[in-house]
Amino acid sequence: EDKVVQSPLSLVVHEGDTVTLNCSYEVTNFRSLLWYKQEKKAPTFLFMLTSSGIEKKSGRLSSILDKKELFSILNITATQTGDSAVYLCAGSKAAGNKLTFGGGTRVLVKP
Amino acid sequence: NAGVTQTPKFQVLKTGQSMTLQCAQDMNHEYMSWYRQDPGMGLRLIHYSVGAGITDQGEVPNGYNVSRSTTEDFPLRLLSAAPSQTSVYFCASQGGYTGELFFGEGSRLTVL
CB contacts < 8 A (A, B): 55
SS3 track for chain B: CCCEEEECCEEEECCCCCEEEEEEECCCCCEEEEEEECCCCCEEEEEEEEECCEEEECCCCCCEEECCCCCCECCEEECCCCHHHCEEEEEEEECCCCCCCEECCCEEEEEC
What is d(CA A4, CA A21) in angstroms, rounded to the nearest whole number?
A: 13
Neighbouring C-beta atoms of residue A72, cutoff 10 Å: 25
Q: Mean pLDDT across the stretch B16-35?
A: 95
- pLDDT over threshold 70, residue A108: yes
List of chain A residues whose C-beta atoms are within 8 Å of the C-beta of residue B35:
101
pLDDT digits (tens, 9 = 90+) for A41-57: 899 999 999 989 889 99
Q: How far out from the chain centre does Cα A108 lie?
A: 15
- pLDDT over threshold 90, residue B42: no
> Which pLDDT value is given to residue A72?
97
Give kind and range of the element (H or E) at residue A75: strand A71-76
- pLDDT over threshold 80, residue B40: no
pLDDT digits (tens, 9 = 90+) for A26-84: 999 999 999 999 998 899 999 999 989 889 999 999 999 999 999 999 999 999 999 99
Cβ distance B33 to A98 less than 8 Å, yes or no, reads yes
- pLDDT over threshold 90, residue B60: yes
Q: Mean pLDDT across the stretch B104-112?
A: 95
pLDDT digits (tens, 9 = 90+) for B69-97: 999 999 999 999 999 999 999 999 987 66
> Which pLDDT value is given to residue B66?
97
Are B73 and B90 in contact by the 8 Å Cβ rule? The answer is no
Q: How far out from the chain centre does Cα B44 lie?
A: 11
- For chain A, the straight-line distance linking the first and the last C-alpha, in angstroms and rounded, comes to 41
Q: Would you call A71 an interface residue with chain B, using a CB distance cutoff of 8 Å?
A: no
- pLDDT over threshold 90, residue B100: no
- pLDDT over threshold 70, residue B99: no
CA–CA distances in Å: residue B53 to residues A15, A48, A58, B50, B65: 50, 29, 38, 9, 14
What is d(CA A26, CA A7) in angstroms, rounded to the nearest whole number?
A: 15
Preferred mutation among B31, B37, B68, B87 to probe A, highest tally of A CBs within 10 A? B37
**Is omega for the bond preceding B8 within 30 degrees of 0, making it cis?**
yes
Q: Mean pLDDT across the stretch B46-72?
A: 94
List of chain A residues whose C-beta atoms are within 8 Å of the C-beta of residue B42:
4, 6, 88, 101-104
List of chain A residues whose C-beta atoms are within 8 Å of the C-beta of residue B106:
41-42
What is d(CA B28, CA B102) in angstroms, rounded to the nearest whole number?
A: 12
Of all residues in chain B, the percent with pLDDT exceeding 90 is: 82
Which residues have a Cβ under 8 Å from the Cβ of A81 and sit 6 or more positions away? Answer: A15, A109, A110, A111
> Which pLDDT value is given to residue A40?
82
